[in-house]
Structure 1
């Protein structure tokens, strides 16, 4: 009888151990799924705000500069006001201003011009629209990321642009 009780106790402990191991595995899986869901939600939010910033330029007009210059055209103020409003609506987000050029000229000069233009947009948003400087960064890409064919004037015009990318929440 004692032997049967001991075997039952050992069996119970084994089953209990398996159950605990299974529960631990489920908990671990739950944590992983939770992290994955949170990451997916975060990426979705970043993407949604990036799309809103892009839509502003499609509706209000692109940010323009004089040829070879890094001064924001004052005619772009409506676009900049709308961009600042979106940033106000999403106070925890960080936005990278991406400067791009066409392929006319030397690549080194285009890289510098694109960085200077991205910096100018950041300065405009901070100085004239009151966006906190720590919520913005600037990156020049020169002619390395064309969205159109640089063999035509229309393509070159499309490649001379400023994009906004939400990088952090």
Structure 2
């Protein structure tokens, strides 16, 4: 059954408690933003598959999604949490893509390619998700570190996508 009617009053529950909480609470705002980010990284991954992007890149996006599910479970009180290996893997991913790009010396205007624009949008959502998780609290420091690095990884992937396609990225003219 896809519906329970228990949330019809504007409340929902978390793991390990029978208490109900307003759906507009900080925890549910963070969970919803993480869900949005996870879904949008799925859009990026599907796009990467249709554009014949390298399999390791597709797998890197999938790994990010897996970690976001762990973070959501942690925030919901399940007792699950990221391991140090998750953070190290994300840092290696960022380093790998950074090795294939020229580091920009100015802001980049998103949209050099469709795929890089999608990744830039995911990066912006990841920053919003990070802020929401900080406000909600109740996660381990490793989770904060992972979310902080995630936007950097998505930025590196976006720059790599533009470079791989030979697209010229533009900076603001101010």
Find the structure with the greater CA-based Rg. Answer: 1
Q: From the two aligned structures, give the one with the greater strand fraction.
A: 1
- Is the shorter-chain TM-score for this pair beyond 0.5, marking a shared fold? no
- What TM-score, normalized to structure 1? 0.28
